[in-house]
Amino acid sequence: MDGAKQELILIVDDHPTNLKMLFSFLKSYGFKVLVANDGESAIDKLQEVSPDLILLDIMMPGIDGFETCQRLKASAVTKDIPVIFMTALTDSENKVRGLSLGAVDYITKPFQQDEVLARVRLHLKMRDLTKALEAQNLVLKQEIAARMGAEAGLKKLAQDLEERVKDRTAELTHALQDLQKTQVQLLEREEKLGRIAFQDSLTDLPNRAWFMNRLQQVIHIAREHPDYLYAVLFIDLDRFKVVNDSLGHLLGDELLKSVSRKLQACLRHTDTVARFGGDEFVILLEDIKDIDEAIKVADRIQKEVRLPFKLNEYEVFTEVSIGIILSTSGYDRPEDVLRDADIAMYHAKAQGKGRYEVFDPAMQTLAMARLQLENDLRRAIKSLPSSRGAIDTQEFCLYYQPIVSLSTGQLNGFEALVRWRHPSKGLIFPDLFIPVAEETKLIDDLGWWILQEACYQISLWQQQFPRKLPVAINVNFSAVQLKQMELINRIKQILEKTDIPICCLKLEITESCLLETLGWEEKILKQLKALGIKLCIDDFGTGYSSLSRLHEFPIDTLKIDRSFVSRIGVDKDDIQIVQTIVTLARSRGMDLVAEGIETPFQLQKLRELGCDFGQGYLFSKPVDSEIATQLLAQEQVFGHCYFPSAFHNDSNT
Ligand code: C2E
Ligand code: CA
Ligand code: CA
């Protein structure tokens, strides 16, 4: 056997001898051999087998060797099979034609066995090589294709990468811009927060937080340098609420802004003013020589603030109360400095507003006492019964001061005056606790109790003295009470419950309260009047400016303030004032009551001036309900006259 692989050879020849001879010869050399007698059967066979070589005779019946070769080369299946023609030695024309038709070689007849074997082997080898080459070619082509593919891929990759780099750069640029924007926003927010944290939004002044910080620093400096002095001025607008309520919050805000500008204008550049909220301002004077310097600033501020403020078409007047504290007390904490400055300011207010007070440690004691009083008052008022309970267990009671007719000396009615029977401090007078009750709004509950108690007293006296004209009681009503929403309804309820004639109830409202009266209270006063309740202006003459507004209110009675009465006989001008008030009351058809009559001389003068009624120690101090009842009984029985004996003759003649 020649070769590991048995190669297949197709012999096409019409000569049986040729066939036989070639068949056995090639077989003997280890080839597989197939035979076909003519071209057509050869082509048929080639549908099923694929020989490695074809030996093709030229001269055959049917289609000759050339035609067969042509057909083989035309078919994709057979075109690559090498074809060797078999031809006669002399037939050179045919040899050339055969080669041109795609044959690889020719063998001359009669056959030379060596030549046949050599040519067959050569062409099989060539065919193998061709195949191998083709295979390699294919691989190469594939490789080339793969490489080209890879290259295209690389190119695409590079392009993609480039594009991605572009996109990414754009994205990053965007992100960066966003980041920068966010950063700017953050910075703005931070700044805004800083502003909110340390600046008052209305006035743009530093706020409490800022001030406390600065004060802490200044306290530190003062501790390090014993000669270093600073002062704090605690400032509160007087009657700001009235402006706010009457002119509205917008103008209230404008006033605060104007005040803040004025305050700034009063300071050196090293001093600072902060707004603490509401109508409170605080000033820090750094590195000053002495207290006089702080007082000078306070004076300047008060002078400036007293000048009218122009807000829209309004001229608004205001004043400030100032508490001053000097650093000599050696403070450690800003809170303590402010507490004491606030206490001093509170004192300034209590002393009559529109003024300053320098802190003194005694003030703190007073402030503590006030706090204690406030707590006690809260407790006492909270334990008041909602309806009339056992009187003796209550800490509050009403005293009654007779109001006397100055023409007859007869009892005309009473003024109810509240007293506080404090469990440890004894009897406390209203001057001490009513202002506290007003400030803390505790007056609301206390006021209702007082009104109810007075009405019960009227109904009680009516039952006890049925034949006497019903006794009237004047009840003091504070400005705070006038602001209550349910006022009219609750008064109606009390009147219904106690079933007293409405004309027996008179409400006393201070002149200063009337001064601060706004639309709402004016309406309330008119409603009260419509109910049939009489209205009386208390302490008349002390709030002189309300004279002009007097006609706006439905007033029945004016009460001349005690300060005028007490100076009758001392100061000629005061008689003049009383005379004016009497004339005013007459012209408006109002009654007149003079309070605080202590001497027969005052009584005589008031009678001469034509004053209708009077009240005062000369007739009687305020007395408890038991004594007041006795006074009524005496009156009923004896027709008691309150005038001192010197006047009896007078009134009889
Ligand atoms: P007011 O309404 O002017 O009351 C008159 C005050 O003068 C009373 O003082 C009375 O005791 C006192 N007084 C009467 N006659 C004389 C006198 O001849 N000489 C002197 N020196 N004083 C005389 P009181 O009772 O201490 O009341 C003080 C103030 O407290 C009252 O002044 C009033 O504003 C307020 N007040 C009293 N009771 C009540 C109340 O029930 N409700 C309210 N809201 N305030 C009240
Ligand atoms: Ca009164
Ligand atoms: Ca009075």
245 and 290 inside one domain? yes
292 and 340 inside one domain? yes
Note the pLDDT of residue 433. Answer: 95
310 and 381 inside one domain? no
158 and 216 inside one domain? no
Q: Parallel, antiparallel, or unpaired for β 411-422 and 396-405?
A: antiparallel
Closest-CA residue, ligand 1 atom 32, reads 431
Question: Which ligand minimizes its atom distance to the CA of 536?
Answer: 2
* pLDDT band, residue 517 (cuts 50/70/90): low
- Cα of 438 vs centre of ligand 3, distance in Å, is 17
Q: Is position 293 within any domain?
A: yes
- Cα of 500 vs centre of ligand 2, distance in Å, is 21
Q: Is position 51 within any domain?
A: yes
> Does residue 427 have its Cβ closer than 6 Å to ligand 1?
no
Host domain of residue 131: 8-196
112 and 219 inside one domain? no
CA distance 579 to 569: 14
pLDDT at residue 124 tops 60: yes
Note the pLDDT of residue 544. Answer: 54
> Does residue 444 have its Cβ closer than 6 Å to ligand 1?
no
pLDDT 10s digits, 222-268: 999 989 999 999 999 998 888 888 788 999 999 999 999 999 999 99
Residue that wins the pLDDT comparison between 331 and 94: 331
> Does residue 404 have its Cβ closer than 6 Å to ligand 1?
no
Q: Is position 365 within any domain?
A: no
- The arithmetic mean of pLDDT across residues 445-469, rounded, is 92
Looking up residue 38, the CATH number of its domain turns out to be 3.40.50.2300
- Cα of 542 vs centre of ligand 1, distance in Å, is 15
Instruction: Tell me, letter by letter, the H, E, C secondary structure of 95-141.
Output: HHHHHHCCCCEEEEECCCHHHHHHHHHHHHHHHHHHHHHHHHHHHHH
Pocket test for ligand 1, best of 395, 403, 476, 601 (most atoms within 8 A of CB): 476
Q: Is position 287 within any domain?
A: yes
- The arithmetic mean of pLDDT across residues 486-494, rounded, is 92
Note the pLDDT of residue 652. Answer: 41
219 and 249 inside one domain? yes
Q: What does the DSSP assignment read for 542-565?
A: TTGGGGGGGGGS---EEEE-HHHH
CA distance 642 to 410: 6
510 and 538 inside one domain? yes
- Cα of 564 vs centre of ligand 3, distance in Å, is 11
Q: Which atom of ligand 1 is nearest to the CA of 561?
A: 3
Note the pLDDT of residue 518. Answer: 65
Note the pLDDT of residue 546. Answer: 53
> Does residue 544 have its Cβ closer than 6 Å to ligand 1?
no
Looking up residue 245, the CATH number of its domain turns out to be 3.30.70.270
> Does residue 434 have its Cβ closer than 6 Å to ligand 1?
yes
Note the pLDDT of residue 548. Answer: 65
pLDDT 10s digits, 82-102: 999 988 756 777 778 888 888
Note the pLDDT of residue 88. Answer: 74
Partnered with residue 427 across adjacent β-strands are: 421
Partnered with residue 419 across adjacent β-strands are: 397
pLDDT at residue 3 tops 60: no
Q: Is the pTM of this model over 0.95?
A: no
pLDDT 10s digits, 8-43: 999 999 988 888 989 999 999 999 999 999 999 999
- Cα of 540 vs centre of ligand 2, distance in Å, is 10
Note the pLDDT of residue 26. Answer: 93
Give the count of domains, the chain: 3
Contact 445, 381 (CB under 8 A): yes
> Does residue 417 have its Cβ closer than 6 Å to ligand 1?
yes
- The arithmetic mean of pLDDT across residues 110-118, rounded, is 86
436 and 524 inside one domain? yes
pLDDT at residue 316 tops 60: yes
Question: Which ligand minimizes its atom distance to the CA of 566?
Answer: 1
- Cα of 126 vs centre of ligand 2, distance in Å, is 143
Q: Is position 364 within any domain?
A: no
Question: Which ligand minimizes its atom distance to the CA of 539?
Answer: 3
CA distance 619 to 643: 7
Q: Which atom of ligand 1 is nearest to the CA of 595?
A: 15
> Does residue 620 have its Cβ closer than 6 Å to ligand 1?
no
Domain endpoint, select from 196, 228, 256: 196
349 and 445 inside one domain? no
pLDDT 10s digits, 558-614: 999 999 999 998 877 778 889 989 998 999 899 999 999 999 999 999 999 999 999
Partnered with residue 199 across adjacent β-strands are: 206
- Cα of 383 vs centre of ligand 1, distance in Å, is 24
Domain endpoint, select from 134, 165, 196: 196
Query: Would you call 491 helix, strand, or coil by DSSP?
Result: helix
Note the pLDDT of residue 646. Answer: 62
Q: Which two tokens stand for residue 581?
A: 């008030």
Q: Is position 203 within any domain?
A: no
Looking up residue 582, the CATH number of its domain turns out to be 3.20.20.450
Q: Is position 446 within any domain?
A: yes
- The arithmetic mean of pLDDT across residues 351-364, rounded, is 91
392 and 516 inside one domain? yes
pLDDT at residue 456 tops 60: yes
> Does residue 478 have its Cβ closer than 6 Å to ligand 1?
yes
- Cα of 417 vs centre of ligand 1, distance in Å, is 6
For 174, how many CA atoms within 13 A lie in the half-sphere containing its CB? 6
221 and 140 inside one domain? no
Note the pLDDT of residue 516. Answer: 66
**Torsion angle of C-alpha atoms 484, 280, 309, 322, degrees rounded to 10:** 110
Residue that wins the pLDDT comparison between 135 and 425: 425
Domain endpoint, select from 328, 359, 390: 359
Peptide bond into 110 cis (omega under 30): yes
* pLDDT band, residue 147 (cuts 50/70/90): confident
Q: Which two tokens stand for residue 141?
A: 């082509």
- Cα of 562 vs centre of ligand 2, distance in Å, is 10
Q: What is the enclosing helix (H) or strand (E) of 274?
A: strand 272-277
Residue that wins the pLDDT comparison between 21 and 190: 21
- Cα of 638 vs centre of ligand 1, distance in Å, is 28
Note the pLDDT of residue 1. Answer: 46
- The arithmetic mean of pLDDT across residues 432-455, rounded, is 94
Pocket test for ligand 1, best of 394, 403, 417 (most atoms within 8 A of CB): 417
Contact 574, 568 (CB under 8 A): yes
379 and 512 inside one domain? yes
DSSP state of 516: T
- Cα of 403 vs centre of ligand 3, distance in Å, is 12
Note the pLDDT of residue 94. Answer: 78
> Does residue 598 have its Cβ closer than 6 Å to ligand 1?
yes
> Does residue 418 have its Cβ closer than 6 Å to ligand 1?
yes
Q: Which atom of ligand 1 is nearest to the CA of 508?
A: 2
